[in-house]
């Protein structure tokens, strides 16, 4: 169940946007996320449908609906993971997507997209 956030715009007059993505109902199966093209940083935190903390994984490669790629980063329950995505897909023909999975059933990912900061 891929999630397309490519049309998301910064919110509230800021350079950021917050989205909640429902993840695959099968624990350990990937959900492909397409971020907005302006996002230079992504921060992710996982919750269950009961709003409890959940473990999760982040990967740059994978298949939507399949087990998370072997090359993934584990994210501990209650922790947030932040990574620069400024170069993902920028010099390639590939789409700048990433993959998330949670260990719980009916989990969601809280995602913050941030625009690249340009000093004044």
The verdict on residue 14 lying in a domain is no
CB-CB contact of 64 with 2 (8 Å): yes
Classify 119 as helix, strand or coil.
coil
| 61 half-sphere exposure, CB direction, 13 A CA radius | 4
- Interval 44-75: pLDDT, tens: 999 887 778 889 999 989 999 999 999 999 99
What is the residue range of 60's domain? 3-7+19-109
- pLDDT, residue 120, reads 42
In a domain, 115, yes or no: no
* Tokens standing for residue 29: 């199966």
Q: Domain for residue 85, yes or no?
A: yes
Q: pLDDT digits over 12-22, tens only?
A: 989 999 999 99
Residue 117 domain-assigned (yes or no): no
- Cβ neighbour number for residue 21 with a 10 Å cutoff: 18
For residue 78, tell me if it sits in a domain.
yes
Provide the domain count of the chain.
1
What pTM value is reported for the model? 0.86
Structural domain contains residue 119: no
Given this model, what pLDDT does residue 2 score?
Answer: 93
* Residue 29 located in a structural domain: yes
Residue 63 resides in a domain: yes
And the tokens for 1? 């169940």
């Amino acid at each position: 169940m891929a999630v397309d956030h490519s049309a998301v715009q910064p919110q509230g007059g800021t350079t950021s946007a917050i989205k909640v993505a429902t993840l695959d109902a099968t624990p350990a199966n990937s959900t492909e996320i397409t971020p907005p093209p302006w996002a230079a940083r992504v921060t992710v935190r996982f919750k269950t449908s009961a709003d409890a903390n959940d473990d999760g994984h982040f990967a740059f490669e994978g298949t939507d609906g399949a087990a998370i790629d072997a090359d993934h980063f584990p994210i501990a329950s209650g922790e947030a993971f932040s990574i620069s995505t400024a170069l993902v897909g920028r010099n390639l023909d590939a789409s700048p997507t990433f993959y998330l999975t949670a260990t719980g059933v009916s989990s969601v990912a809280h995602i913050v997209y941030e625009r690249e900061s340009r000093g004044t």
